[in-house]
């Protein structure tokens, strides 16, 4: 199964969405809940696996079961243009950030990404579960023990991820290492070695504010980072809530006014 080359347009500045134009009978694979709109003629379809060699019904059920265990949908969601004319479908991420277009042909035909960063991809790209190579990386890494693998059987095809805030792309040479906050990783090439390193020094651990662990990415390969992980944004919003001691109206807090309206006070 070869991946289609799709036409797309990314709209917006810091709250981006992607509009994909499908030819007749063309399809795109989307993350559950990411669809924004479908033009007339584009229909949603589901299947158990995108793998051509999934091994019959039992193999497809096994692939679907792995996704359920990791909190994903049992089915892969596709959007197919069943009309005789070109039609649009659009996908949007659930929080502020940027859409990251990645041509797999330029990155070895395979990509590992955070489970929450995948947005959509050309039909034919396999969306699978990938286990981290080291138990420590899975246990203490912000991405968890499970990553998503985006793989094209013929090495071609476009995938689209979402990065919170602004996206930074770095190319690492052989042996070049980068220490990263675990939540700031969006995606990386399969040639990248991913591990976890304990922060040195008890004062750094307790008072550094960066947690106990770094993610260590070692080249060669390309990595994509985000400036605003959703977990960091959520922590700031929770900290500003009145129930957590956040400021209220008249004390210089816009969020305080929002929570006051919700509380009815």
Q: Where in the chain is the domain with CATH 3.60.160.10?
A: 7-161
pLDDT of 39 reads 97
Over residues 59-86, the pLDDT tens digits come to 555 555 555 555 555 567 889 999 999 9
The reported pTM is 0.76
Q: Tell me the DSSP string of 137-151.
A: HHHHSTT-SEEEEEE
Q: What is the pLDDT of residue 59?
A: 52
Looking at every residue in the chain, the average pLDDT score rounds to 78
- How far apart (Å, rounded) are the C-alpha atoms in residues 30 and 61? 19
| Residue spans of the chain under pLDDT 50 | 54, 57, 135-144, 203-210, 249-252, 254, 259, 265
Query: Residue with structure tokens 């793989």?
Result: 151
What's the sign of the alpha-carbon dihedral 195, 198, 200, 206? Answer: positive
For residue range 91-110, list pLDDT tens digits in order.
998 888 999 999 999 999 99
**Main-chain dihedrals φ then ψ at residue 194, nearest 5 degrees:** -110, 120
Kindly report, residue by residue over 113-135, the tens digit of the pLDDT: 887 788 999 988 888 777 655 54
Query: Rounded CA gap, 81 and 42, in Å?
Result: 4
| Fold of the domain spanning 7-161 | Double-stranded beta-helix (3.60.160)
């Amino acid at each position: 199964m070869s991946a289609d080359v799709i036409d797309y347009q990314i709209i917006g500045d810091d709250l981006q969405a992607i509009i994909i134009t499908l030819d007749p009978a063309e399809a795109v694979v989307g993350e559950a809940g990411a669809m924004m709109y479908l033009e007339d003629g584009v229909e949603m379809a589901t299947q158990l696996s995108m793998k051509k060699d999934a091994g019959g019904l039992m193999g497809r059920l096994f692939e679907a079961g792995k996704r359920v265990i990791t909190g994903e949908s049992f089915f892969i969601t596709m959007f197919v243009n069943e009309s005789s004319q070109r039609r649009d479908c659009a996908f949007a991420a659930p929080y502020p950030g940027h859409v990251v277009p990645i041509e797999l042909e330029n990155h070895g035909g395979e990509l590992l990404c955070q489970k929450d960063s995948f947005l959509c991809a050309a039909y034919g790209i396999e969306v699978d579960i990938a286990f981290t190579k080291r138990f420590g990386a899975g246990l203490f890494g912000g991405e968890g023990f499970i990553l998503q693998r985006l793989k094209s059987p013929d090495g071609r095809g476009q995938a689209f991820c979402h990065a919170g805030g602004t996206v930074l792309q770095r190319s690492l040479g052989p042996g070049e290492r980068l220490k990263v906050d675990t939540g700031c990783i969006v995606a990386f090439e399969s040639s990248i070695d991913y591990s976890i390193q304990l922060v040195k020094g008890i004062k750094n651990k307790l008072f550094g504010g960066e947690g106990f662990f770094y993610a260590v990415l070692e080249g060669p390969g390309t990595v994509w980072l985000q400036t605003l992980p959703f977990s960091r944004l959520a922590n700031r919003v929770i900290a500003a809530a009145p129930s957590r001691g956040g400021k209220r109206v008249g004390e210089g807090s816009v969020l305080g006014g929002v929570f006051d309206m919700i509380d009815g006070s």
